[in-house]
Structure 1
């Protein structure tokens, strides 16, 4: 296994941990800072919006910087942000520190995806990107539970000190293992923004938004669905969430293995499989063992889509890969927030809990339609570019 890719995965593990570790610390944070639990919950939203809004700007600013120093600098921001979280004297300070930390998230994953793809031969690019995402999924399985346990035992500030320590390990790994002679994007800032005029790039970002909406419509409400429908709680919830995390890890590996194939047909098959499993889940949630099996399969197949979408964006935005792949992280986070709202609408409408997976299935079916549209647009773009190349080659031959 490539040491540079492992270094990127370690950093991804730390970033994934800091994003969601606060979910297990909300009560302690709220009590210590004198705010309500819902107000503490906004610390998650503040982080997500920092990724959506701030990270692309940072990616553009650093677009012409050498990639190794840029990645190390971003992990430096990550460490500073987590230290500020640990030292925050009040709620507003903690919110500001979370937003600062979030800037490293989107920009890091965007640049790391492009870097990982450039470290391997073309047919291995999907696997390389999936390894970076594997660090993110491992954070769900290991980092977040351990961080929460540290916070419960030693206080919530200890969790952020621990995550900052992971950042130090990541910087050392990046410094030691990442080659210095990584390619940089040679385009200017305006070139970075011009790529957003391409319909294929915008459609690829739209696919990421809908895929994330479908996932977070369901995963946000896993605990109340299991409590209400499956009739379990406590340690069973923890076990099932661990199974979900293992499914994410399996999905990351699966996505990597499929990355060398024709992306659009693979994406449509995975989306169709996700939709079918979500429909089945609406029935299996009433029984423990079928629920656990279905949740694992859903996590694996739905998350296999994510590294493939990141690869798709990198391919479609070759002129500005840093900005586009960072925007893809913003797209994922926008989908996270929207998906939670979609599930909340289902509950607020008085519909039964088992219809939440059906809502996720409807979103993913819509994404299949958008994928078909995107495929046609990308084929036309490819044909246009080939015609332009042939015309230029013919003119050069004549001259």
Structure 2
């Protein structure tokens, strides 16, 4: 075999191994996306099964989100001295076991605790997975690699969430947690086989990771996620109620609506990753007003079934375009503490989840109707744009360190 042919074969093998490593990381995102978002499509079944109200069911989603907020910085900091592959493996095992405890939870109070526990490894896993993926490719392809890992979460909304929603409606909503546990264990096998081992950074420490919290740009990036993304979750949390009660869509079509929303998330995540490689802040400036406009249109379009279907896709796409640039922005803002900074993005997004679910439930409880959360979300998106503009202004005065 010629030298050229040998080189080509070796390059092909490396590319294949890279693809399988990113697929393994994305599978973890698939498990996480399924357990996080399928709850929203099964909200009515959960209310009936636990004999609770809609706002109480929304609290289960908030409990998971708060678990992410707490777990992301704790696991990322405590695991700073661990090799990243071992940290990812431990987090995925934790996720699998926590979901199985949700399956056997006997009442509402216990379910709150188990959903909180299920959220603990979420942010830290995505954080370490993003760092691993970014390290496997050239710097100019970081946005793409991160979007591929996050693609597991978005693909979950096309396949995992609709399937889990259908299974929950047909065979009982608790089956969701068994499905997630099985996917999590399969992910562990894939991580073991395909993700390369790298020793921990010799200077890695809890103190070094926590140094990210001293940087104003890190906090501003987190605030963009918390405020700007809150409207996305305000809509998604109550999408089943909106589609059935406002748009008049039959309940058996809710899995299709969720799948369409998820398909939009896949498309938006890919686009967001591509354009983030060209301009991180430019992408954020573009997406934030796009979210606001999409949510206002959604609030109007939700009164007709055909337009509600279309806007479910659009809202999913526009919202998901924000995730890759935010993830990349945090890596840029804290290059010496990437695991914690990257993990905190998911804390921020799940504070947004909790905030969106809370504000959405509040305006519904006030009697404003199921489309009101969309208008609240549009206002939040414009506040997020203001924070992004402030961040950009400060960066022009003091550029980020290389």
**If the length of structure 1 is used for normalisation, what is the TM-score?**
0.87
Alignment partner, residue 188 of structure 1: 205
- Where does the alignment leave 5 or more consecutive residues of structure 2 unmatched? 1-15
Alignment partner, residue 286 of structure 1: 303
Correspondences of 1:1-399 after superposition (within 5 Å): 2-23=19-40, 36=52, 41-88=58-105, 91-181=108-198, 184=201, 186-351=203-368, 354-382=371-399, 385=401
Per-residue CA distance 1:280-336 (angstroms, 9 max, x = gap): 333333333333223322221221111211111111111211112212111111111
Contact 1:125 1:259 in 2 (8 A): no
Describe the shift of the 1:350–1:96 C-alpha distance in structure 2 as closer, same or farther (beyond 3 A): closer
State the alpha-carbon separation in 2 of the partners of residues 361 and 263 from structure 1: 22
How far apart are residue 79 of structure 1 and its match?
2.0
How far apart are residue 274 of structure 1 and its match?
2.2
Describe the shift of the 1:89–1:224 C-alpha distance in structure 2 as closer, same or farther (beyond 3 A): closer
Per-residue CA distance 1:56-105 (angstroms, 9 max, x = gap): 11111001110111111111112221233334455554443333322211
Contact 1:203 1:370 in 2 (8 A): yes
Per-residue CA distance 1:345-391 (angstroms, 9 max, x = gap): 434455465554332222211211111100122233327x58xxxxx
How far apart are residue 195 of structure 1 and its match?
1.8
Count residues with an aligned counterpart: 384
Describe the shift of the 1:61–1:123 C-alpha distance in structure 2 as closer, same or farther (beyond 3 A): same
How far apart are residue 223 of structure 1 and its match?
3.3
State the alpha-carbon separation in 2 of the partners of residues 120 and 17 from structure 1: 27
- Where does the alignment leave 5 or more consecutive residues of structure 1 unmatched? 387-399
**If the length of structure 2 is used for normalisation, what is the TM-score?**
0.86
Give the CA RMSD over aligned residues: 2.6
